[in-house]
């Protein structure tokens, strides 16, 4: 119990210090662009309720979830195929590295030309492309790093291809795939906002821009805080899922340390 309390204090200690520091420093501020934190907190509930939640926040999160899911499925599938085939890996890796080096926000105008500036398609495609590369490349490295003895053993036991793929290949590469998926999640949140800056009139990113253009500065700050809270909650959910799904890996590492 004491360990849990100490861990909780460490987890919330820095955020509390930062909020307290912001509150004290901004208190009594007369700057139009740097309002007191008390004012931002006061307008937060009025800004993010009712229609703004259903018309802006939820659609943004739905696009993020859809784009991230597409990237996850494509990244793991293509990554496993490339990782298992040395020739395909040698053929595809230079191209993958080239596309990974291109910042996804640069592609937004190009994607919008084909998919349109309004609607979901361009935004979902942008999020999927941005999230794809860390998942795909980590999946390739995870599969390539599998112990050959393990793969040979699975073959010698004549496991079915599907069983071998799910229980040996993807399970063995899952720690590295999880690392890529965690990195992709933060990229997805960034692209969710950036994709709504181009021609969108609804959405979380579009709302923040509208607040900025109409000089509703406290409301603009509430949007930025809401984005941070969403990113934090998504991170907590991801860590929970990762903790449960990779329990076997943590147990394996503890056993290795004891030997």
The per-residue pLDDT for range 201-215, each reduced to its tens digit, is 788 888 998 998 899
**CA of residue 104 relative to chain centroid, distance:** 14
CB 140, CB 79: distance < 8 Å: yes
Tokens 């020739």 correspond to 87
CB 178, CB 246: distance < 8 Å: yes
User: What does the longest C-alpha to C-alpha distance in the chain come to?
Assistant: 74
Q: What mean pLDDT is predicted for residues 86-106? A: 83
The per-residue pLDDT for range 135-186, each reduced to its tens digit, is 999 999 999 988 888 888 888 888 788 888 888 899 889 999 999 999 999 9
Q: Which residues contact 200 (CB under 8 A, 6 or more apart)?
A: 117, 118, 123, 206
Residue 66's φ and ψ, nearest 5 degrees, are: -65, -45
| Position 199 confidence tier, pLDDT thresholds 50, 70, 90 | low
* Dihedral class, residue 116 (left if φ above 0, else alpha if ψ from -120 to 50, else beta): left
Q: What mean pLDDT is predicted for residues 20-37? A: 89
Helix (H), strand (E) counts: the chain: 13, 0
Predicted TM-score (pTM) above 0.85: yes
Tokens of 190: 């960034």
The per-residue pLDDT for range 227-247, each reduced to its tens digit, is 999 999 999 999 999 988 888
């Amino acid at each position: 119990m004491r360990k849990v309390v100490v861990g909780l204090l460490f987890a919330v200690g820095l955020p509390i210090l930062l909020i307290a520091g912001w509150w004290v420093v901004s208190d009594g501020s007369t700057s139009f662009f740097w309002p007191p934190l008390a004012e931002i907190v006061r307008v937060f509930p009025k800004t993010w309720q009712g229609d703004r939640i259903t018309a802006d926040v939820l659609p943004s999160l739905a696009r993020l979830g859809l784009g991230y899911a597409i990237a996850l499925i494509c990244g793991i599938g293509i990554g496993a195929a490339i990782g298992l085939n040395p020739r395909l890996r040698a053929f595809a890796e230079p191209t993958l590295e080239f596309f990974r080096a291109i910042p996804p926000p640069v592609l937004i105008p190009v994607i919008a030309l084909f998919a349109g500036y309004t609607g979901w398609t361009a935004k979902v495609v942008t999020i999927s492309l941005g999230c794809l590369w860390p998942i795909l490349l980590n999946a390739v490295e995870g599969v390539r790093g599998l112990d050959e003895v393990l793969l040979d053993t699975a073959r010698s036991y004549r496991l079915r291809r599907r069983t071998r793929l799910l229980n040996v290949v993807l399970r063995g590469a899952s720690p590295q795939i999880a690392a890529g998926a965690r990195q992709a999640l933060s990229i997805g949140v960034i692209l969710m906002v950036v994709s709504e800056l181009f021609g969108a009139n609804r959405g979380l990113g579009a709302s923040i821009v509208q607040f900025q253009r109409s000089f509703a500065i406290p409301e603009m700050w509430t949007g930025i805080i809401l984005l941070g809270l969403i990113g934090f909650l998504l991170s907590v959910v991801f860590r929970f899922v990762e903790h449960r799904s990779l329990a076997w890996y943590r147990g394996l590492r503890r056993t290795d340390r004891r030997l």
